[in-house]
Chain A
């Protein structure tokens, strides 16, 4: 059976099995979504938005949709993937199931808990009704697929005037208890007026089996709120990720998403910002460092609808071996969005002849009093810089790594959590296969 048919035919069973007492809104959302998915199906390369990324290699697998046998996972199995040297809230999911033993939730000043309980409890009905599936793009059939099976993920609800003192780590592990597994985490983040939260999200396969994760995150950023969101994508070569993140921002809010892609077989990031008010700032930063046959596709959208807002986008990529990078950065400045400042930059280095980058800046500007710029460079390592470093005794391998480090540095510099910055530096050094005597 094809994956699409399998999913559609599993839907009823999934709905009936849901013994949690869901209210009818969620059922209606799911039902609508499965219809949309059934109509649209999986995107193909004929679809303009999927021109450079084919899902075919992923769709032929016989995924287990509801892995039942949860392998027992202890702290020592997952320790390496957590940032341990800081106080944090942690939401750990193992094969799609929340692991309360490894997690640290809270309901004190804010809610950092799981979506399944939020969906089931009357206390959160208002939040769910107001926000769930409100900004997920209905033209994104994979997001619709996720919505059809919406059940579990992070639920982060920050009331107004709250600075969340500790970062929140959301980590989705797969254990390989089944040969091929499809996971569909769903995160809902609502940040009230004047509040601030930092979130780190990671997906990690602990086995050599195949995992496909189709993740959706909706983030609502209210007036003057600040959200810093970090995505660590450093999974095994048997793991693929389709991540769709939708962000709605109210006036004077600042939302930043930093995406670090160092691993995984196929990674597709759909990152969309929607402005609903004036004086909004959106920051989108990313580094991809890929080798072998890894493939990362960053599709971003910033939809400027109101005046006096700004967006800053910086994506860098280093591609070795036969890896493939895609950057498609769309910026829409609608007629009402006068005095918009929108900047976009995509810089890539191709290390080997077999590596590919497809870079596509896309600016649609309908307002006349705006500042918009985009820049795209694709290059190789600077030979004269290499010689300069070698002439000071730095061997060519380390010299290359240092140059690549330096190339990615302005994105690393944007990380506001020192321990995370140090982790990312280490991941980069590991990816470049060098030991440098310092951290940038």
Chain B
């Protein structure tokens, strides 16, 4: 599904990704771990198409199609979803209106009509229940005044609504207490299928107890220095990152 070949990316000339190779197949869960500044969030942003980063070499392909020339919204329409480490507050736009706009714009891009209001409402309720989100929460301004946990839960709610092929969860566990983490992980697990894939980006092994990866990769200094099964996460938890340098 996702194929990253020799990806190099820089910001203002400072190289952050230095040749990443990664292949994710449908139905798989991959985790990328690594110390601060190793390029984890950059990788997530580059896949999602953030224009601040310049891709100097290499490609990102989704289902065999090179994403390089596509704007972030086009990538989203093709099935890429990025859950933000720090979701942005948008005062004045409610959660419901935001997700409605996102869904209908995505449908428009696919040549489909708007989702009938009734179906939209039903879907919103269903997914909100899945993530144990209070209905009142949906009429609040997007992320404004949300706690860290609420923001992350809201990200996964949006993911549930948009049903992406590839979900990239950037530090979704940070700022979550253990109960919230369980709810979020449970949501992700329920949404996982043979047709989609998940890329987890995390510092800690903790999240991986709840969303179990098929593969773990260690990113260090802009490169994947080690890949393995889920046991690699425990090894990292125990030994830290130093032994890989």
Contacts and interface: CB of A to CB of B under 8 A. Distances in A.
Interface of A: 382-385, 387-396, 398-399, 402-403, 405-410, 436-438, 440
Contacts of B48: 387, 391
B93 A405 contact: yes
B97 A438 contact: yes
A437 B101 contact: yes
B102 A403 contact: no
A399 B105 CA distance: 10
Given A390-B49, A409-B91, 5 more contacts: A390-B71, A391-B48, A393-B73, A436-B101, A437-B104
A370 to B, nearest CB: 29
Contact of A390 (B52, B73, B104): B73
Contacts of B75: 391
B165 interface: no
Contacts of A387: 48, 50-51, 72
Contacts of B84: 388, 391
6 closest Cβ pairs, A-B complex: A406-B92, A409-B92, A390-B72, A393-B76, A393-B106, A392-B102
13 contacts: A387-B51, A390-B72, A391-B81, A391-B82, A393-B77, A395-B71, A406-B92, A408-B92, A437-B101, A437-B104, A438-B97, A438-B100, A440-B93
A440 B99 CA distance: 14
Interface in B76-132: 76-77, 80-82, 84, 87-88, 90-93, 97-106, 109, 114
B162 interface: yes
A397 B158 CA distance: 21
Nearest to A404: B92
A59 B173 CA distance: 65
B91 A398 contact: no
B101 A440 contact: no
B101 A403 contact: no
Contacts of B106: 393
Nearest to A406: B92
Given A387-B50, A388-B88, A406-B91, A395 B73 contact: yes
A410 B77 CA distance: 31
A394 B102 contact: yes
A362 B48 CA distance: 46
Nearest to B120: A437
A394 B93 contact: no
A208 B103 CA distance: 41
Contacts of A388: 84, 87-88, 90
Contacts of A390: 49, 71-73, 76
B76 A396 contact: no
A437 B97 CA distance: 8
B72 A440 contact: no
Contacts of A438: 97, 100-101
B105 A398 contact: yes
A437 B77 contact: no
B71 A391 contact: no
A394 B92 CA distance: 16
B71 A396 contact: yes
B93 A393 contact: no
Given A392-B158, A394-B73, A406 B90 contact: yes
B88 A407 contact: no
Interface centre among B71, B81, B93 (most CB of A within 10 A): B93
Given A390-B76, A392-B162, A393-B105, A410 B90 contact: no
A403 B142 CA distance: 11
Nearest to B106: A393
Contacts of A403: 90
B42 to A, nearest CB: 13
Contacts of B52: 383
